[in-house]
Amino acid sequence: MPSSSANKPGKEWPLHLNIYRKKPEKGAVIHTHGCYAILWSFECFSDETDVIPPLTPYLKMKLGTVGTVPYEKPGSKELFDSFSERVEKSDGYLLKQHGAVVPGKDLWDAFYCIEELEESAKIAWLIKKR
């Protein structure tokens, strides 16, 4: 039998809760630390509510816009406050120097959205750096 700590939520559960509260139509949230999402988060953007260019149509079709959240220490109140200020401005999020957060109507939807976000960040990064 797993220990009770195995069922304990991660320290960033307030990010998930914030989405559920402000976007009640969402039934799942995935947070990853994908390489290209993190790399792309280091870029500077004029519009921080939509930061991954539509190089293919799929990110917009599956997820929508991806906004950035300024760097704050993982698991900190400052991170949660900053995220809360931005959660309604975009459909998915890049936490600067940290990773991506994506909601979906269910777990599969969130999975396909996070997969598309990572691939779109990869394409954007590779095109910019060629």
Active-site annotation, residues? 12, 58
Burial 102-117 (b: 16+ CB within 10 A, else e): bbbeeeebbebbbbbb
Count CA atoms within 13 Å of residue 63 on its CB side. 33
Choose among 101, 83, 85: nearest CA to 93.
Answer: 101
Task: Report angle CA 79, 47, 23 to the nearest 5 degrees.
Answer: 55
Residues in the chain: 130
